Amino acid sequence: MDLETNRAPDQGRRWTRLLARYREPSHVRSAIEVAITLMPFAALWVLSLTAVSFGYWELSLLLAIPAAGFLVRLFLIQHDCGHGSFFRNRAVNDLIGRAIGVLTLTPYDAWRRAHASHHASSGHLERRGIGDIDTLTVREYSERSVWGRARYRLYRHPLVMFGIGPAYLFFLRNRFPNQPISDDWQNWLSVMATNAAIAAIAGILIWFMGIWTFLLVHLPITLLAASAGVWLFYVQHQFEDTFWAHSDEWSRHDAALHGSSHYVLPGILRWFTANIGVHHVHHLCSGIPYYRLPQVLKNHPDLSDINRLTLFESLRCVRLVLWDEVQRRLVSFREARQSMGPGRV
């Protein structure tokens, strides 16, 4: 099956049926994955605290890098629990997911519902804005006011997208429900219960070590993990030949296959990111636990070449900010200006 065949209509649906056989998780493997992620994270946190306590705050900052990697991995375990793919029992998935959500500052149940909407609407031009990166078409951007364009440019600036934005999302935005309690009490409960657990744990730690020590240890870890997480999510869908379509041309399976990247990372980064780079396979069949994704590529090598994106190539994705409906690809502001003519963008 070659790449041109994979572009054939309804190919995404056929891949989805084929990949369903990989959905069965291993309880032993899943438990081991939790242990080998949570225990090193805790150990690094304690080592960082020890370094700060003895005045070696520079060492604490260095330790924050691998600790952030383990925190990202914990988030991806939470992610698989949200898809019900990490354990066979939904209650176990939810228990683990909610517990990890306290560490990742992400209310599990509220996030799970938003993420399900993302999977159900990825690449759909009429259903943008739920659990994804805001993306305008060239036409929509050109029709905005000067202030509207400036806001979109600011939102898309790398310092905001990968610096200020992740901090805002995880520290502030995740602390508030999307809707009032009268409209969605489960979402409200998820957020408030997570907030209460975070406050309790942080309060106890601050009581014993002081607020500045706590912040010096935990803040760098969380900020690094938040930025890395947003970067991963960004390159999973924001690449040049991604997929966007209107209702009459949109298919969830085709959007999964052609609108999600295969982010090829070095081995150590693949481990820390829990194979989430095999994102087209994940979107085709979100019930596959992350530790079975390499086996999918091994058994079906044709999938490896679809939407392949290396670490170096991914850096160029930052400039791609608008969907060109004529060329059917993401373009930069400069490319959009050239296609629309002077004064239009």
**Interval 29-78: pLDDT, tens:** 999 999 999 999 999 999 999 999 999 999 999 999 999 999 999 999 99
pLDDT of res. 149: 96
In angstroms, the CA 70 to CA 67 distance is: 5
In angstroms, the CA 235 to CA 24 distance is: 27
| Structure token digits, residue 50 | 């020890």
DSSP H helix total and E strand total for the chain: 18, 5
Q: Are 282 and 16 in contact (CB under 8 A)?
A: no
pLDDT of res. 85: 95
Give the confidence band of 243 by pLDDT, cuts at 50, 70, 90: very high
Asked whether the predicted pLDDT for residue 2 surpasses 90, the reply is no
Q: How large a percentage of the chain has pLDDT more than 90?
A: 84
pLDDT of res. 6: 45
Asked whether the predicted pLDDT for residue 101 surpasses 50, the reply is yes
| Structure token digits, residue 282 | 């994940």
Give the confidence band of 131 by pLDDT, cuts at 50, 70, 90: confident
Q: Which of 1-15, 28-42, 141-155, 329-343 has the lowest mean pLDDT?
A: 1-15
In angstroms, the CA 200 to CA 279 distance is: 35
pLDDT of res. 3: 40
| Structure token digits, residue 121 | 């609407």
How much is the mean pLDDT over the chain? 92
pLDDT of res. 251: 87
The better pLDDT of the pair 148, 5 is held by 148
* Average pLDDT for 272-294: 96
| Structure token digits, residue 295 | 């086996």
Q: What is the pTM of this model?
A: 0.93
Q: Are 214 and 131 in contact (CB under 8 A)?
A: no
Q: How many CB atoms lie within 10 A of CB 97?
A: 25
